[in-house]
Structure 1
Amino acid sequence: MILNGLLKTKFKGFSGDFSLVIGQLRSSAFEIINVINKKEKVIGYWTLENGLIRKLGKAKKGKSMSKYELKPPIWPGNTKDIPRGWRTPDGGNKLRIGVPDKTGFEAYLKVEQDPYTKESTVTGFSYDVFEEALALLPFAVPNKLIPFPIGPNAGTYNKLLYHVKNQKFDAAVGDITILANRSQYVDFTLPYLQSDVSMDIWLTTGAAFVCTGLVVWILEHRINNEFRSSAHQQ
Structure 2
Amino acid sequence: MACSVSEPVSSDSSKSFRRFKTKFRKHYGTRYAEEEEYSNPSIYALRAYDAASTVAEAMDKSPANATSKELFKQILSSNSEGLSGRIRFRNTTLLKHLPTFQVINVVGKSYREVAIWSPQLRFMENSNRHEGENTTFGNMTMKELGPIYWPGGLQTVPKGWTSFEFDEDKPLKIGVPAVVPIGGAFNQFVKVSYDQGINGSYVTGFSVEVFEAVVKRLPYQLPYVLVPFYGSYDDMVEQVYSKGLDAEVEDTEIMAYRYQYAEFSQPYLESGLIMVVTAKPDKSKERWVFLETFTRRMWLITIAMQTFIGFVIWLIEHAENPNLTRFGAVLWFSITVLFFAHREPLRSNLSRFVLAPWLFAILIISASFTASLTSMLTISHLQPSVSDIDTLLRTNASVGCNGNSFIVGYLINVLGFKPKNIRKIDSINDYPDAFRNGDIQAAFFVVPHAKVFLAKYCKGFTMTGPTFKLGGFGFVINSYHFPYTVDFPLMNLL
Scaled by the length of structure 2, the TM-score of the pair is 0.23
Scaled by the length of structure 1, the TM-score of the pair is 0.46
Structure having the larger proportion of residues in helix:
2
